[in-house]
């Protein structure tokens, strides 16, 4: 493998993984519902977080989603010989970019903003 191929391979693998994560929206998922309600938002680190004022049930959903994402990021990182945090951060930027208008995102400084 050429040294410059690794970042492109990682970007391709992550893009494919994110596309597959969003490939099943026939019915709204609990995560989609929580995002639309403003209870949960995407973060720059590639994980979701509970927003202030959300019901306590939102934390369990966030924990489940983040556990799955963590495993997914680790698998991509292992396959591409990179750090899982780098994979998660790249995913975070892509997920935030894909977040629909009206939903909430949190940047790297911890500030929430509505798109």
Q: Shortest CA distance to 73 belongs to which of 87, 62, 83, 63?
A: 87
- Residues facing 35 on adjacent strands: none
- Average pLDDT (90-113) is 96
Domain ranges in the chain are 5-114
- Top pLDDT among 54 and 1 is at 54
Q: How confident is the model at residue 96 (pLDDT cuts 50, 70, 90)?
A: very high
Give the sign of the dihedral formed by CA 71, CA 74, CA 79, CA 85: positive
pLDDT score recorded for residue 7: 66
Query: From residue 114, how far is each of 33, 42, 77, 104 by CA, in Å?
Result: 16, 11, 30, 4
pTM, two decimals, is: 0.78
């Amino acid at each position: 493998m050429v040294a410059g191929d690794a970042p492109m391979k990682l970007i391709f693998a992550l893009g494919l993984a994110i596309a597959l994560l969003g490939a099943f929206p026939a019915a709204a998922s609990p995560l989609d519902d929580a995002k639309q309600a403003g209870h949960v938002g995407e973060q720059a680190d590639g994980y979701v977080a509970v927003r202030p004022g959300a019901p306590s049930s939102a934390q369990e959903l966030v924990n489940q989603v983040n556990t799955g994402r963590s495993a997914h990021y680790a698998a991509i990182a292992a396959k591409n010989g990179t750090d899982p945090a780098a994979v998660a951060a790249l995913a975070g930027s892509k997920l935030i970019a894909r977040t629909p208008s009206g939903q909430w995102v949190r940047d790297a400084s911890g500030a929430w903003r509505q798109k």
